[in-house]
């Protein structure tokens, strides 16, 4: 396992001189209004991937609600084995450990809850509203500001732990090609820098109640919120799935988080995974 320089763990900073001021654990804690999320908090200077490290902590018995945030990642990972651009001192890279009571066959749509939490947190700062792209991206002005990576460790009968990884472009002023064509930061969208630690605390405050609704029978209001933020509602899209491509009109997500899409024959499909793209030339409704 790759090592990481652990700057502050629990309440005891190990080497506070290296902690970037806006990721100080005490500042993050001061903003937290949560009961359990982030109450175990690790702020690290450099890590391969917060998801990799939090998964290791999950296997070693760390508590549900643990959050690790890194100033930079050397091997940040996205969905579909893509790399996640993780330069130092500018963005938020963090992972959350959960030990949920979900059945492995019927996990609730946790990445949608994370998307709603990010959207609700950044919305007051923006003049252009954020939009959610199914399943795991947050867009602003049609560019990606945040991505979510959910990794589940389960046997056939039981989920041991879940790692939620979130990358949020906060203060980056420019992106290298080809990301300059598709990414955006909060700073680029607002023209102002944002304190990363305060933003992280706000985000965790918004996320905790949404995660709690996932343990209840119904999380309809979270799904309604997600649909309100859905970037491509009513638009022509194509979805790349493991078994091929489906084209049609996007109808939003259903109660279990599946994407509803109506094809040109009028048949509705409900997809639980895939990669979505907008079609420039719309299909007839
Ligand atoms: C995606 O859009 O494909 C998901 C990106 C998730 C990136 C975050 S950054 C923090 C955490 N650690 C990782 O290695 N990945 C996630």
Q: What is the pLDDT of residue 204?
A: 98
Ligand 1: does its nearest atom lie under 6 Å from the Cβ of 167? yes
How many whole angstroms separate alpha carbon 13 and alpha carbon 279?
50
pLDDT in tens, 226-251: 999 999 999 999 999 988 999 999 99
| 3: pLDDT strictly greater than 60 | no
Distance in Å, CA 219 to ligand 1 centroid:
25
Ligand 1: does its nearest atom lie under 6 Å from the Cβ of 230? no
> Residue 53: how many CB atoms within 10 A of its CB?
23
pLDDT in tens, 119-135: 999 999 999 899 999 99
3-state secondary structure of 274: coil
Chain centroid to Cα 117, Å, comes to 9
| 17: pLDDT strictly greater than 80 | no
Q: Are 148 and 163 in contact (CB under 8 A)?
A: no
Distance in Å, CA 115 to ligand 1 centroid:
13
Atom of ligand 1 nearest to the CA of 78: 3
Q: Are 200 and 99 in contact (CB under 8 A)?
A: no
Q: Residue 271: beta bridge partners?
A: 259
φ, ψ for residue 128 (rounded to 5)? -95, 125
**Around 105, how many Cα atoms within 13 Å sit in the side-chain half-sphere?**
2
Chain centroid to Cα 157, Å, comes to 26
Q: Are 168 and 114 in contact (CB under 8 A)?
A: no
H or E element at residue 111: helix 110-122
Q: How far is CA 10 from CA 7, 25, 66, in A?
A: 10, 9, 10
Ligand 1: does its nearest atom lie under 6 Å from the Cβ of 31? no
- Angle among Cα 198, 200, 203 to the nearest 5 degrees reads 110
Q: What is the pLDDT of residue 9?
A: 43
How many whole angstroms separate alpha carbon 282 and alpha carbon 49?
39
How many whole angstroms separate alpha carbon 51 and alpha carbon 1?
12
Atom of ligand 1 nearest to the CA of 86: 9
pTM for the full predicted model: 0.92
Residue 156 or 89, more confident = 89
How many whole angstroms separate alpha carbon 223 and alpha carbon 81?
27
pLDDT in tens, 72-126: 999 999 998 899 999 999 999 999 999 999 999 989 999 999 999 999 999 999 9
How many whole angstroms separate alpha carbon 144 and alpha carbon 70?
20
Q: How far is CA 250 from CA 133, 278, 285, in A?
A: 11, 9, 10
Listed in sequence order, the DSSP H helices in 134-246 are 186-190, 196-214, 220-229
């Amino acid at each position: 396992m790759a090592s990481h320089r652990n700057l502050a763990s629990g309440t005891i900073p190990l080497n506070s001189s290296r902690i970037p001021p806006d990721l100080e654990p005490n500042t993050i804690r001061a903003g937290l209004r949560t009961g359990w999320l982030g109450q175990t908090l690790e702020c690290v200077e450099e890590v391969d991937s917060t998801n990799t490290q939090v998964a290791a902590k999950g296997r070693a018995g760390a508590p549900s609600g643990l959050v690790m945030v890194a100033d930079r990642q050397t091997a940040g990972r996205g969905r579909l084995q893509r790399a996640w651009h993780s330069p130092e001192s500018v963005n938020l890279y963090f992972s959350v450990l959960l030990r949920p009571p979900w059945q492995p066959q019927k996990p609730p749509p946790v990445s949608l809850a994370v998307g709603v939490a990010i959207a609700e947190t950044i919305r007051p700062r923006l003049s252009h509203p954020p939009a959610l792209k199914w399943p795991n991206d947050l867009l602003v002005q049609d560019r990606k500001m945040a991505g979510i990576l959910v990794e589940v460790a389960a046997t056939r009968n039981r989920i041991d732990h879940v790692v939620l990884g979130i990358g949020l472009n906060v203060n980056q002023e420019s992106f290298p090609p080809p990301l300059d064509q598709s990414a955006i930061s909060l700073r680029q969208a607002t023209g102002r820098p944002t304190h990363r630690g305060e933003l992280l605390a706000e985000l965790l405050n918004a996320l905790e109640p949404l995660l709690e609704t996932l343990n209840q029978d119904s999380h309809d209001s979270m799904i309604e919120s997600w649909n309100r933020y859905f970037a491509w509602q009513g638009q022509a899209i194509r979805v790349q799935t493991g078994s091929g491509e489906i084209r049609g009109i996007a109808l939003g997500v259903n109660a279990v988080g599946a994407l509803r899409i109506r094809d040109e024959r009028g048949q509705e499909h409900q997809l639980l995974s895939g990669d979505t793209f907008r079609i420039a030339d719309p299909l007839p409704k």
